[in-house]
Amino acid sequence: MGGASVCRMVVTMLAMFMLSSTVSADPEMLQDICVADLTSAVKVNGFTCKSNVTADDFFFAGLAKPALTNTTTGAAVTGANVQRIPGLNTLGVSLGRIDYAPGGLNPPHTHPRATEVVFVLEGELDVGFITTANILYSKTIKKGEVFVFPKGLVHFQKNNGKSNAAVVAAFNSQLPGTQSIAATLFAAAPPVPDNVLTTAFQVGTKEVQKIKSKFAPKK
Ligand SMILES: *[C@@H]1O[C@H](CO)[C@@H](O)[C@H](O)[C@H]1NC(C)=O
Ligand SMILES: *[C@@H]1O[C@H](CO)[C@@H](O)[C@H](O)[C@H]1NC(C)=O
């Protein structure tokens, strides 16, 4: 092969790789349905398929009503993912509902496996995400409006309004996963060493221990 054709081949392969790695989140499915057997001890990339399938495997009523928002941050997330709807296994999508009391915050977090699109059911929210270049994209969104949080990027929603707010969130993963930044760093078990956090945040051990104590299980 000449230098030019090798070069063309490499470019083609790179293009194919980039396409295949950017067009979807969860992998393509290989059959009509593969309803999760959540009880199976066999672990695969996803869940094994069960055989005794019913319509209820594709059903969930848990987003119909607001969740209680008397949480530490004044917001409550209800997932409608493969753990609640076994029929979502291998389908690459899921939903959630988030309810916010006035002042409520869904604290900064990421979804390692999905882009999120929120649709405001009621109220008004200040939302934002931060890119890897450390740019904050933020906006106030209200009933009927939509906002996108790109896959993997840190994002948050805050209800600065006087009434309750709620969104439906859609994900391109059957199980997007959530890593809440504060809890990840200050409530891990076993704990992240204090000297990692003092240097990372440029504060003293006392400050780090104070934040850790806020996340300690209530006795
Ligand atoms: C359906 O299959 C699952 C796993 O194979 C089992 O745990 C469950 O008891 C079965 N349910 C019925 C109603 O047979
Ligand atoms: C939230 O409110 C409900 C109902 O009013 C109550 O049962 C529950 O204990 C409260 N939870 C907390 C964490 O305060």
Asked if the model's pLDDT at residue 136 lies above 90, the reply is yes
* Ligand 1 mutation pick, 50, 51, 53, max ligand atoms within 8 A of CB: 50
Q: How confident is residue 105, by pLDDT bands cut at 50, 70 and 90?
A: very high
Nearest residue (by CA) to ligand 2, atom 8, is: 70
Whether 136 and 167 map to the same domain: the answer is yes
**Each residue of 151-192: pLDDT tens digit?**
999 999 999 999 999 999 999 999 999 999 999 999 999 999
In a domain, 197, yes or no: yes
Tell me, yes or no, whether 83 lies in a domain: yes
Same domain membership, residue 141 and residue 164: yes
Residues 194 and 148 in one domain: no
Closest ligand, as measured to the CA of 72:
2
Supply the mean pLDDT for the chain.
Answer: 92
Residue 3 — very low, low, confident or very high, per pLDDT cuts 50/70/90?
A: low
SS3 per residue for the chain: CCHHHHHHHHHHHHHHHHHHHHCCCCCCCCCCCCCECCCCCCCECECCECCCCCHHHHCCCCCCCCCCCCCCCCEEEEEECCCCCHHHCCCCCEEEEEEECCCCEEEEEECCCCCEEEEEEECEEEEEEECCCCCEEEEEEECCCEEEECCCCEEEEECCCCCCEEEEEEECCCCCCCEEHHHHHHCCCCCCCHHHHHHHHCCCHHHHHHHHHHHCCCC
Both 172 and 123 in a single domain?
A: yes
Ligand 1 site, residue 37, Cβ cutoff 6 A: yes
For residue 70, the ligand 2 atom closest to its alpha carbon is: 1
- Residue 71 is part of a domain; what is its CATH number? 2.60.120.10
Provide the pLDDT for residue 30: 85
Same domain, 96 and 199: no
pLDDT higher than threshold 90 for residue 123: yes
Q: Is residue 5 over pLDDT 70?
A: no
Pair (93, 199) in one structural domain: no
User: For residue 95, what are the CA distances in angstroms to 26, 63, 114?
Assistant: 14, 9, 11
- Residues 134 and 168 occupy one common structural domain: yes
Whether 130 and 155 have beta carbons less than 8 Å apart is answered as yes
Burial of 91 (0-12, 13-18, 19+ CB in 10 A): middle
Ligand 1 pocket, residue 52 CB under 6 Å: yes
Domain count across the chain: 2
pLDDT of the residue at 217: 78
Q: Judge if 70 and 162 occupy the same domain.
A: yes
CA 90–ligand 2 middle distance (angstroms): 36
Cβ contacts of residue 93 below 8 Å, gap of 6+? 170, 171, 172, 173, 174
Shared domain for 99 and 195, answered yes or no, is no
What pLDDT score was predicted for residue 25? 77
Would you say residue 14 has pLDDT above 60? no
CA of 111 from ligand 2 middle (Å) equals 27
Residue 22 within a domain: no
Higher pLDDT, 9 or 89: 89
Residues 128, 158, single domain; the answer is yes
Residue 205 pLDDT exceeds 70: yes
More confident residue, 13 or 143: 143
* Ligand nearest to C-alpha 40: 1
pLDDT per residue over 70-95, tens digit each?
A: 999 999 999 999 999 999 999 999 99
Residues 84 and 156 reside in one and the same domain: yes
Q: Which amino acid is at 4?
A: A
How far, in whole angstroms, is CA 18 from its chain's centroid? 23
Domain around 66 = 62-178
Please report the atom of ligand 1 found closest to the CA of residue 37: 4
> Considering the domain boundaries, does residue 201 fall inside one?
yes
- pLDDT-derived band of residue 106, with 50, 70 and 90 as boundaries? very high
